[in-house]
Chains A and B, each alone.
Chain A
């Protein structure tokens, strides 16, 4: 009888479970198409799903029953339900039960032992996908930024074009100036050459005249020496030499 009461109470209780909108009961806060406005982009999925006891029964059920029945309430409900089903043979135990029990135990053992590893592996796959996409995006951002840098640099370079034209104009000015100076120098050199030529010509003439005169004087002098004068001068020279040698012998 109590079990029937519980059975009738349970669906009523379940029906009176508040809809997911009012936040106080649920852990998640996803509105889930309850209002007219749609949230875009979608808010991120919560990190963990709703808490669950024994892998099956949500925690909210226990919280719901706690004020009325305390901590053991849901367990008593569960045990009662189970016994009712078994005793009234609403659930019949047959060979399928044994098969189910074996299969379930194997599954639960497998999940408990390897569940976290498989989850980590799946997470890693997802991470890699996301990381690849992120890498692509970051590289695209970097490339765009360097492209902008390059463009700015090229603009700065273009500003320096005035240097080029100044250099060209300078070259021209230098060429003209050089040319002009060369011309002045040529004029000066030519005039100087001519004047120097005149001076040199004069000097040469004078030199030649001098030499000629000297030669002529010498020739005349040599001619005017007669043979008699030559003999006399030689005899005089000999006498002088003798006297000199005597004085030299006396001194030594």
Chain B
């Protein structure tokens, strides 16, 4: 039967759990309980139903032909497999997730580059003992006093002192 047994992959829940960020723990737990419930249900059902003992029934049941008729109809019966409607949606979701995660990784890399740059600047700064005030204002622009806006000492609003 084609399509049956759609590859139930073994999931490493431990590795999965490691990668879950703490703010999504609840969702992960819900997913896990659901998966466990499903697999428990699956394991409780036998793979094939037990076979019917036709010989015994043929010997026991008096009505002629009834057992034969049953047997014929039974072996001719095809149980339809349930149709899979959701896998396509899941695949679509996966594509989308791949795209958005690629974007996120891009942004993250940009942020890392920025941090690296700042880190470089901090690491290559001259020690404070050798700085003049000019050097300090270059390294930390926020220490520069705005002499145009506040022409009188202390060159910043009193509240900022």
- Interface of A with B (CB < 8 Å)? 41-44, 130, 133-134, 137, 140-141, 144-145, 147-148, 151-152, 154-185, 187-189, 191-192, 194-195, 198-199, 202
In the complex, chain B residues whose CB is within 8 Å of the CB of A195? 52, 57, 61, 67, 70
A188 to B92, CA, bound (A): 38
Q: Which residues of B contact A166 (CB under 8 A)?
A: 9, 11
On chain A, the residues within 8 Å of B74 by CB distance are: 187, 191
In Å, the complex CA distance between A140 and B122 comes to 8
Q: Is residue B48 contacting chain A, with contact meaning CB distance below 8 A?
A: yes
**Using Cβ atoms and an 8 Å threshold, which residues of chain A touch B9?**
166, 169-170
Pick from A151, A168, A191: contact of B112, CB below 8 A. Answer: A151
Q: Which residues of B contact A41 (CB under 8 A)?
A: 126, 130-131, 135
Which 7 pairs of residues, A with B, have the shortest CB-CB distance? A160-B19, A188-B49, A163-B16, A173-B6, A181-B45, A179-B82, A174-B38
- Within 8 Å CB of A185, what residues of B? 45-46, 49
Asked if B7 is at the interface (CB within 8 A of a chain A CB), the reply is: yes
A177 x B111 contact (CB < 8 A) = no
- Which of A42, A44, A151 lies at the interface centre, i.e. has the most chain B CB atoms within 10 A of its CB? A151
Contacts A133-B128, A177-B42, A199-B60 given; does A151 touch B108 at CB 8 Å: yes
Whether the pair A152, B112 counts as a contact (CB closer than 8 A) is yes
A157 to B22, CA, bound (A): 11
How many B residues have CB within 8 A of the partner chain? 71
Query: Chain A's interface: helix, strand, loop or mixed, by majority?
Result: helix
Chain A residue at minimum C-beta to C-beta distance from B86:
A172
- Binding site of B, secondary structure by majority: helix, strand, loop or mixed? helix
Q: A152-B112, A180-B81, A199-B60 are in contact. Are A160 and B16 (CB under 8 A)?
A: yes
**Contact across chains for B15 and A187 when beta carbons are under 8 A apart:** no
Instruction: Tell whether, in the assembled complex, residue B42 and residue A178 are in contact, meaning their CB atoms are under 8 Å apart.
Output: yes
Residues of B within 8 A of A130 (CB): 128-129
B145 at the interface (CB under 8 A from A): no
Chain B positions 121-144 with a Cβ under 8 Å from a chain A Cβ: 122-123, 125-126, 128-132, 135
A141→B52 contact, CB < 8 A:
no
List 15 additional contacts besides A180-B79, A195-B57; criterion CB under 8 Å: A42-B132, A133-B128, A144-B115, A151-B115, A165-B97, A172-B86, A174-B42, A177-B4, A178-B38, A178-B42, A181-B45, A181-B47, A185-B46, A185-B49, A191-B70
Distance of A141 Cα from B60 Cα, bound (Å): 89
Within B1-52, the residues touching A (CB, 8 Å) are 4-9, 11-12, 15-16, 18-21, 31, 34-35, 38-39, 41-42, 45-50, 52
**Chain A positions within 8 Å of B86 at CB level:** 172
User: Is A169's CB under 8 angstroms from B129's CB?
Assistant: no
Residues of chain B within 8 A (CB-CB) of A194 are 70
Do the beta carbons of A173 and B8 come within 8 Å of each other? yes
Chain B residues whose CB sits within 8 angstroms of the CB of A155 once the complex forms: 105, 108-109
A158 contact set on B, CB distance < 8 A: 101, 104-105
